[in-house]
Amino acid sequence: MSFVRPLAVRAVTLIGVLLAVLVLLVVSLGATGFSDRMLRAVVGEEVRGLRTALAETIRDPVELERAVEAQRGELERFYGLDRSWYTRLPDTVLRVITLDLGEARTLKSSSGSRRVSDIILERLPNTALLITTALVITAAIGLVVGSTMAARAGTKLDRALSYFAATSFAIPAWWLGILMILLFAFQLRLLPAGGMYSTPPPEAGLLRFLDLLWHAVLPVFSLVLVTVGPYLYSVRTMTLSVAQEDHVMVARAKGLPEGVVVRRHILRVAAPPIVTGLILGLTSSLGGSILIETVFNWRGMGRLYFDAVAGTPDEAVIVALTFVFTLLYVAARWLLEVLYVLLDPRVRYT
Amino acid sequence: MTPRGMLRELLATGPGKAGMGLLVALLALSLYALVAFPLDFGAKRWSNPSVWADNPRSVPPVWTGLLSGGRSMPHTVLETEEPAEVSGATRTYRLRLEFEADVPPTFLTVAVAGVRYHARPPRLEVVVRRPDGTSVVLARPQVPGPRSGEAAPYERFGEGSLRVALTSGERTTTALRELFLDEYAADVPPEDLRDALARAIVSVPEPGAPDGLRLLRGSYDLELRATFDDPRDELGSVRFVAGGSRFGLMGTDSLGRDLAQGLLIGLPIALFIGITASIASTAIGATLGIVSGYMGGKTDLVIQRLADVVANVPLLPLLIFLVFVVGSHLLLIILFLVAFSWPGLTILVRSMVLQLRSGQLVESAVVIGASRWRIMSRHIFPHTAPYVLAQMIFFAPAAILAEAGLSFLGLGDPSVVTWGQILESGFRTGAVFLGWWWWVIPPGVAIVITALTFMLLALGMEPVVNPRLRSGAPAGYRALGAGR
Amino acid sequence: MTPLLDVRDLRLHYETPRGPVRAVDGVSFEIGSPGEVVGIVGESGSGKTSMANALMRILPRNVARYDGEVLYDGEDLMALTDERFRKEVRWRTMAMVFQGAMSSLNPVLNVGRQVTERVLVESGASKREAYRKAEELLELVGLPRDIIKRYPHELSGGMKQRVVLAMALMMDPRILILDEPTSALDVSVQAQVMNLLKQLKRERGMAMLFITHDIALASDLCDRVVVAYGGEHVESGTLAEVLTAPKHPYTQKLIASIPRLHDPAQPEFIPGRPPDLVDPPSGCRFHPRCDFAFEPCDSDVPPWFEAGGAQHARCWLLGQSKGRG
Ligand SMILES: Nc1ncnc2c1ncn2[C@@H]1O[C@H](COP(=O)(O)OP(=O)(O)OP(=O)(O)O)[C@@H](O)[C@H]1O
Ligand code: SF4
Ligand SMILES: [Mg+2]
């Protein structure tokens, strides 16, 4: 089919992005000696365990030391510590690409697993819930308000809107979150300041879900407030520029009702860039989740990232998460491409 | 369009005017900050707790007193070098504290500096004489004796001073309990006293009052009595600090740091980040775009592929990763920001150049034999200039916000003070949950205002960049019936 | 007998920072009966498109003044409410082919959708019926049937122009307004479109308002010609009258500027610039560029003078000759 080609071309680029990020990760870990330190720590830990085990059987301290050293050499070879970091590079890249993300040092999943993939998978839905809810609300408000504002371009209200958009862009979502907590949780005591469930959490079922929503109000609200301004302004501008095109005048001259003109000949034509804006918003709030989840102690991937960076750094988790973020990012970009092809016949044949 | 023309067009818009005004104000303020503060303020002072030791901790700004009503306790530092009274071997240093507030001081400390003695260290005694004539000995600070091998005269506290907190510890508790028993025949349980020592020093016991204490207003004489063994012995200075219930323009954080100073010094740093990063990023972006579009061929292909890859990278996670792994020096952070932000402009400029290249202007320049470089800089760049400028303005707030985010995650450059870091320490200390708004609201407001300044300028640039929207009331939309 | 369309003193001014632009400043003309083609000829900026838009009530936001009478079969269309105008006039009484067919089509809808949609918003319209008619019309304008599924970006300029024409015919309008329907096309396609229009006139008895800056092109199709200058009309008459005996100096220049294949004389250009419609010249708007301008021209607005037959012109020269003769 005609639109397979553009999508495939795009997919290749995006896979290139994935690889490039991965190589960047591995190279910066290797070149800064980070990766060596990580592996040494792992080896050291295993050797400590071995020493206690060996001490049971080998009494002579000199003998014990020799046995331990032999084991250490073995382990170092196993982890590739005897080679320089760049010779390990292909292996590492391959491992991460096959989603073999390794074990966390300190962090655990709620079921106690140390496997990084378990930990991340457990957090993924929480982040997804947060940002998709915010996205849906932003999209709804942005589309309705943005397209109505286009009809009032140049009025006082329209100008006020552009100021709102600029301000909204200038506000960091995480700081807005702090304000929200101060106001709604601390001052008014209306909403929970953070976390995902009350303590103790309600039994499973509807109540639990409602509790979750209750806790999601402030983070979602913060996210929406900072994304909706720029978004509705871009919807407005996009709609406005389509509205000035000749075919809209023709549609009116045809005697189509105004509603049809707006929907079919303005919004529908402006849809591809509008959807682009939306997906770009999604990808940026994906990164932004690191901050907002930290503020609200929302146990998603973002908070996990923060936990892995702050306190005792958990390198395996950091690498894995950066990769997963890139993966999701790239997936969203590709989704955008698919939507674009569906929405705009012009790109189908190029 | 000439730079002048652009400026005129920019200033013709409301947002452009507002943004310009703000920018000038911010630049002036940061110039002041740069002159008023040493460049190593962050490393040498901000992160050095002893600088802030005399300040009250986590107290709101002074001006909040105006709003809340009631008299707040002003932060009071009293210092003297001369004894008020000398009788025999004892010199009395006396300082007067006028206490008229509705709240007690947050703390009371005494600090002694420049002690020099020849045989035995002087014996010190801190006494408070209260307005009702009562007095109490609050502390007997110890000056360390001679060390073995040290020769007289012995110098103590030449730099740094002997600081004694008068509002904590068992000693003060006992002294006050005895005072209340002896003078007012009131038996205040030590558990009650222990948590309200600062209040107790300036109160009389009264059943029914909060904490069982009623504030006693009036003049307090704070005395340090020093008894010397040798007439040649000396004492440099005595300082009493009564911690205010409010402090400075912006209050203090939990280390007693003056937030007003942190906020002020954060401004030039934020502007530096925004402006440097955006200039570098646009310079790279525009150059690559022009080169890519004008050269074509392999160069174009390589630049386009690169731009494509970099444009699709998740910015924040990668920034965090790189700063975490490579380091958090401010210039490094800026470098990373720049490294990921040029492609947008490159792609835009390239497409403009492709259009221009086929245009007459460039063709005629080629005909008269202008060099490639000359064509690129003289004939192509000026056409892209408004877009480049708009992008530059737009990128500054993005860089400021990104750095703030990094700082908030604890990945900021520790040698400088940034608003993000102030927010981070506030958030980590739990200021949000304790209601210490003055610690977490102003830095955020500062970030927003700075970012907004650039956003307003970007908004003002819109008519320059997008002439179709220039008139503000474009024809076409809602044409139906508009005329009737 | 009442004419099919009778336009009287139509005005459309636009609000601008400099003041109102008098793009259509009191123009009157008529289309007598079905099958009659009236040409509106004038240079760029003379307000031709604005006049067509005024007829269709396609108005930008910055309208400063919009009035006059547009009598269709004796009924004043200007008095209709917007909703009635939309339903009864647009595409039924009058359909229009806009200047610049390249951009007249919605880029994300296929041809079939766009051609049929006006019919389909009517209650009780059948989709099958609508598509059948669309195919018929598309065939009539010389397009292959399968074009119905194609998107605008897949079509050439000439094809788009034909699609737009077919689209305009969907509701069987009584009057077709054509705003420079061929100016963006190359000569051979232009000829094809002109033949098509002639065929429409001949076979369907379609009344048309043919707007062009090219008086030669108008001569190919029109029964009567109106010459527009600076937001006003300055001459009207049958094609033969205007073409062979132009009375207004501007018309004369216009005709002299037609390049002639077998004439060694160089085509003339009209010197000077088109009038500023915010602040038009006093008296006769053409006087700054007129070779014959004399004493009343820069102060008094010339009225319409009869020039024999159906021909009329607004030039003081005619008044003079009359006065003398
Ligand atoms: N919305 C508007 N606001 C202000 N001025 C306008 C507007 N639309 C058209 N004009 C001006 O009105 C005058 C007449 O324009 P119009 O498009 O009607 O001319 P035209 O005869 O169709 O020219 P062309 O042959 O170039 O199509 C021009 O000077 C034009 O600049
Ligand atoms: S009225 Fe005068 S100026 Fe106008 S066209 Fe006739 S002669 Fe020329
Ligand atoms: Mg026109």
The predicted-structure confidence for A172-231, as pLDDT tens digits, reads as follows: 999 999 999 999 988 888 888 888 888 877 787 888 888 888 999 999 999 999 999 988
Domain A119-343, what fold?
Answer: MetI-like fold (1.10.3720)
| Helices and strands: H and E segment counts in chain C | 10, 12
Q: Is A301's Cβ below 8 Å from some Cβ in B?
A: no
Angstrom distance (rounded) from CA B32 to CA B30: 5
User: Contact, C170 vs C134, CB < 8 A?
Assistant: yes
- pLDDT computed for residue B3 by the predictor: 74
Report CA(B15)–ligand 1 centroid distance (Å). 31
Higher per-residue pLDDT: A79 or A17: A17
- The SS3 of residue A108 is coil
For C169-181, letters b (16+ CB in 10 Å) and e give bbbebbbbbbbbb
Closest to C217 (Cα-Cα) out of C274, C179, C269: C179
For residue A79, pLDDT beyond 80: no
Place of tokens 């034909």: C162
What's the pLDDT band for C131 if we cut at 50, 70, 90?
Answer: very high
Angstrom distance (rounded) from CA B424 to CA A78: 41
Residues 221-280 of A with CB under 8 A from B: 237, 240-241, 243-245, 248-249, 252, 258, 266
| Residues from chain B contacting residue A123 (CB–CB below 8 Å) | none
Sorted by sequence, the CB contacts under 8 Å of residue B13 that are 6+ apart come out as B459, B460, B462, B463
Q: Return the ligand 1 atom nearest residue C277 CA.
A: 29
DSSP B409-476: TT-S-TTS--HHHHHHHHHHHTHHHHT-HHHHHHHHHHHHHHHHHHHHHHHHHHHHH-GGGTTSS-SS
List chains adjacent to chain A, taking adjacency as at least 3 C-beta pairs closer than 8 Å: B, C
What percent of chain C has a predicted confidence (pLDDT) above 70?
96
User: What's the half-sphere exposure (Cβ side, CA atoms, 13 Å) at A339?
Assistant: 17
For C271-295, letters b (16+ CB in 10 Å) and e give eeeebebeeebebbbbbebbeebee
**Burial zone of A183 (CB within 10 Å; 0-12 exposed, 13-18 middle, 19+ buried):** middle
| Residues from chain B contacting residue C82 (CB–CB below 8 Å) | 480-481, 484
The two most distant CA atoms of chain C are separated, in Å, by 68
Angstrom distance (rounded) from CA B96 to CA A233: 62
Out of A65-79, A155-169, B243-257, C283-297, least confident range? A65-79
Count CB neighbours of B305 within 10 A.
12
Do the Cβ atoms of B476 and C61 come within 8 Å? yes
CA distances to B225, B236, B237, C41 from B158, rounded to whole Å, are: 19, 9, 10, 101
Angstrom distance (rounded) from CA B472 to CA C211: 31
CA distances to B20, B204, B302, C256, C290 from C265, rounded to whole Å, are: 62, 119, 58, 10, 21
For B94-121, write each residue's pLDDT tens digit: 999 999 988 899 999 999 988 888 888 8
For C210-228, letters b (16+ CB in 10 Å) and e give bbbbbbebbbbbbbbbbbb
Angstrom distance (rounded) from CA A27 to CA A34: 10
- pLDDT computed for residue A37 by the predictor: 79
End-to-end CA distance of chain C: 33
Query: For C305, which DSSP code?
Result: E
- pLDDT computed for residue B484 by the predictor: 22
Angstrom distance (rounded) from CA C220 to CA A267: 41
Domain map (residue ranges) of chain B: 3-45+258-474, 62-242
- pLDDT computed for residue A205 by the predictor: 82
Tell me the CATH number of domain B62-242, given options 1.20.950, 2.60.120, 1.10.287, 2.60.40. Answer: 2.60.120
CA-nearest residue for atom 17, ligand 1, is: C49
- pLDDT computed for residue B7 by the predictor: 83
Report CA(B392)–ligand 3 centroid distance (Å). 39
For B232-242, letters b (16+ CB in 10 Å) and e give ebbbeebbbbb
User: Contact, C26 vs C10, CB < 8 A?
Assistant: yes
The torsion angles phi and psi of C41, rounded to 5 degrees, stand at: -120, 135
Tens-digit pLDDT string for chain B (484 aa): 677 877 888 888 888 999 999 999 999 999 999 999 998 888 888 988 888 988 999 999 988 888 877 788 889 999 999 888 888 889 999 999 999 988 899 999 999 988 888 888 889 999 999 999 899 998 898 888 888 888 878 888 877 788 888 888 888 889 998 999 898 888 888 888 888 888 889 988 888 887 788 899 999 999 999 998 888 888 888 999 999 888 989 999 999 999 999 999 999 999 999 999 999 999 999 999 988 988 888 999 999 989 988 888 888 899 999 998 888 899 999 999 999 999 988 988 888 888 877 766 666 766 676 777 777 777 777 878 888 888 889 899 999 999 999 999 999 999 999 999 999 999 999 888 888 999 999 999 999 999 999 999 988 887 777 655 443 333 322 222 222 2
Q: Is B472's Cβ below 8 Å from some Cβ in C?
A: no
> Which of C18, C21, C233 is the best mutation target for the ligand 1 pocket, counting ligand atoms within 8 Å of the beta carbon and taking the most?
C21
**Burial zone of C232 (CB within 10 Å; 0-12 exposed, 13-18 middle, 19+ buried):** buried
Domain map (residue ranges) of chain A: 4-97, 119-343
For B230-251, write each residue's pLDDT tens digit: 888 888 889 999 998 889 899 9
Report residue B346 as tokens: 């490159």
Global ipTM: 0.90
Domain at B3-45+258-474: CATH code: 1.10.3720.10
For B9-50, write each residue's pLDDT tens digit: 888 888 899 999 999 999 999 999 999 999 888 888 898 888
User: Contact, A310 vs B410, CB < 8 A?
Assistant: yes
- The SS3 of residue C197 is helix
**H or E segment at B129?**
strand B123-129
Out of A92-106, B165-179, C142-156, least confident range? A92-106
Angstrom distance (rounded) from CA A215 to CA A296: 9
CA distances to A42, A44, A79, C223, C290 from A50, rounded to whole Å, are: 12, 10, 16, 107, 109
Domain C5-86+173-321 architecture: 3-Layer(aba) Sandwich (3.40)
Closest to B38 (Cα-Cα) out of B25, B26, B51, B50: B51
Domain map (residue ranges) of chain C: 5-86+173-321
User: Contact, B402 vs B308, CB < 8 A?
Assistant: no
